[in-house]
Copies of this chain bind each other. A is one copy, B any other.
Amino acid sequence: MELLSILALISVFVFSISAALSSIQKKYDMFGISFVTFVTAVGGGTVRDLLLGCHPLFWMENVWFVVSIMAGIGVTFVFKKRILFLKQTFFLFDTLGISLSAILGTQKAIDFGVSPFIAIFFGLVTAVFGGIIRDMMTNQIPLVFRKEIYASACLAGAFIYISLQYIGAPLWLLYGVPTVFIFAIRIISIKYKLSLPRVSL
């Protein structure tokens, strides 16, 4: 439980850096940046909690989530030129956020008695819905529908997590294997410009 909370905090912190950077590029004012960052960072988990009927929401119970987001915005502002320079380092952090979210979301759905088949979907929602809401608010077609195959990687990662849990794998494998898998897929797909087949009529 303690470990899950720490992983959740890390994932929110990392997402807030990613969101703050992308909204700075839109030339919003400081309120706009903070608001979009907050919604992106907690959006996926909030949609998951609302769908599960889990109250209070995860970021209302524990004030450290709000503090993490503020810290993420602060770090982005201070280091903003350096972070863009370190684009690849940043990509790793973003993927870490997605991997952790997929695992944590799947686990929370299982804790709420959702069947494993549907719990995988909750892992996906937790990982990608923050970005979908961000893109909807900023009037863009969500990236997740158009590029990369990381959404599919999240589904596969969540499936691996469920399978490992079923066979009683030790903790480091349970979290490690899906995370490494999602990282690998994302890096390979970008390197070789892989994407899922498009369907044409």
User: For the complex, would chain A's binding face be called helix, strand, loop or mixed by DSSP majority?
Assistant: helix
Does residue A81 face the partner (Cβ distance < 8 Å to B)?
yes
Does residue A87 face the partner (Cβ distance < 8 Å to B)?
no
The number of times this chain is found in the oligomer is: 3
Residue among A31, A140, A146, A197 with max Cβ neighbours from chain B (10 Å): A31
Q: A55 near B57 (CB under 8 angstroms)? A: no
Residue among A25, A32, A144, A199 with max Cβ neighbours from chain B (10 Å): A199
Separation of A120 and B121 alpha carbons in the complex (Å) = 31
Q: A31 near B201 (CB under 8 angstroms)? A: no
Residues of A in contact (CB 8 Å), total 57
Residue among A114, A117, A132, A139 with max Cβ neighbours from chain B (10 Å): A139
A57: chain B residues at CB < 8 Å are 51
Q: B56 near A53 (CB under 8 angstroms)? A: yes
A197: chain B residues at CB < 8 Å are 29-30
A132: chain B residues at CB < 8 Å are 137
Nearest first, the 3 closest Cβ-Cβ pairs linking A and B are A53-B55, A32-B145, A29-B196
